[in-house]
Amino acid sequence: MDSQKVKLKLEHISQSYIVKNQVFDAAVDVSMEVRDSEFLVLLGPGRCGKTILLNMIAGLEKPVDGKIYLDGEEINGSDERIGMVFQKRALMPWKTVMQNVEFGPKIKGVPKEQRREIAQKYIDLVGLQGFEKSYPDELSGGMKQRVSIARAYANNPEILLMDEPFGALDAQTRYAMEEEVQRIWQAEKRTVIFVTNNIEEALYLADRIVLLSNCPAHVKAVYDINLPRPRDTIDPEFLRLRKEISDNTDLAL
């Protein structure tokens, strides 16, 4: 596989809203390329427009300007090849873990037995065997995000968008989940676009980091991270990069 092949391309993407009769720019002229099977991290301060960017890639909202290409073809609206792990209200509380994870195949009309098998594979992969019949409200925050990740994978997407999946977790669980996501990504190579506002998390996970500015979002810098995995967070090179990116980051307003 050619790892330099461009999987997804954003061209001059802008987004604005009318807020109180005024035009509010949320993203201005964002262009970037996402390579096949890479782990790309979008790093940006809080409320800078990260979710909006992902929503546009996912087809949940339309940009006012610009184009998005997947495998060289322009896409409009949501695409089957793109999956998403949401930042908020990720799971359907009326469905059990199993029912949540098998949702994608079920929507596609995969017969019950077959989709259960697929779902079970990913439930096992995220380490939730034994919780198939639990409802989301019975699970801890970390477990919920595991379900959300399993659900996205079970639909077999080519690109996986993850919107601050661990933002609401405590530090301990967060570290564990970061390791987990890296393990899953290595086991099931997909193109991942991972959003975070945490520099350390970005450095731990990313092949490349796209640094975004404050709102309205635009690309400030792109960093290639060539450290060996799993990464050592106190390695001098890690710390140097961390400082370099940190110095270049806008403070959240």
Partner 1 sequence: MRKEHEEIFLSEYERKELLRNRIYGVLPVLAIILLICLWFAASSNPASKFPSPMSVWERYLKILEKPIKDLGLMGHIWASLKRVFIALAFAWLLGISFGILIGWNKKANALLGPIFTAFRAVPPLAWVPLVTMWFGIGEFPKVLIVFVGALMPVVVNTQAGIANVQKEYMDIGTIFHANEWQMLTEIAIPSALDAIFAGIRNSTSAGWMVVLAAEMLGGKSGVGFLIVRGMDSGDYPLCLLSMICIGVVGYLLAIVIQFLERIICPWTAKKSN
Q: Footprint of ligand ATP on this chain (CB under 6 A)?
A: 17, 19, 24, 26, 44, 46-52, 87, 164, 197, 215
Q: Is 55 among the residues that bind Mg ion (CB under 5 A)?
A: no
Q: Is 51 among the residues that bind Mg ion (CB under 5 A)?
A: yes
Using CB under 8 A, count the residues that bind partner 1. Answer: 31
User: What minimum distance in Å lies between the beta carbon of 43 and Mg ion?
Assistant: 13
Question: Residue 138 binds which entry of partner 1, ligand ATP, Mg ion, none, with Cβ cut-offs from 5 to 8 Å by kind?
Answer: partner 1
Q: Which residues are bridge partners to 37 per DSSP?
A: none
Q: ∠45-50-53 over CA atoms, to 5°?
A: 155
Question: Residue 94 binds which entry of ligand ATP, Mg ion, partner 1, none, with Cβ cut-offs from 5 to 8 Å by kind?
Answer: partner 1
Of 21 and 172, the one with the shorter C-beta distance to partner 1 is 172
Comparing C-alpha atoms, which of 36, 30, 37 is closest to residue 52?
30
List 34, 58, 162, 169, residue binding partner 1 (CB under 8 A): 58
30-38, 79-87, 102-110, 201-209 -> range binding Mg ion (CB under 5 A): 79-87
84 vs 153: CA distance, rounded Å: 9
96: left (phi over 0), alpha (psi -120 to 50) or beta: beta
Q: Which two tokens stand for residue 49?
A: 């427009």
User: What minimum distance in Å lies between the beta carbon of 119 and partner 1?
Assistant: 13
Q: Which residue is nearest to ligand ATP (CB)?
A: 51
185 vs 205: CA distance, rounded Å: 10
Residues 64-93: x where in contact with partner 1 by CB under 8 A, - otherwise, as a string: --------------x-x-xxx-x-xxx-xx
Q: Which residue is nearest to Mg ion (CB)?
A: 51
User: What minimum distance in Å lies between the beta carbon of 100 and partner 1?
Assistant: 9
Q: Is 142 among the residues that bind partner 1 (CB under 8 A)?
A: yes
User: What minimum distance in Å lies between the beta carbon of 49 and Mg ion?
Assistant: 8
106-125: contacts with partner 1 (CB under 8 A): 106-108
Residues that bind Mg ion (CB under 5 A): 51, 87
Interface residues with partner 1 (CB under 8 A)? Answer: 58-60, 78, 80, 82-84, 86, 88-90, 92-95, 103-104, 106-108, 127, 130, 135-138, 140, 142-143, 155
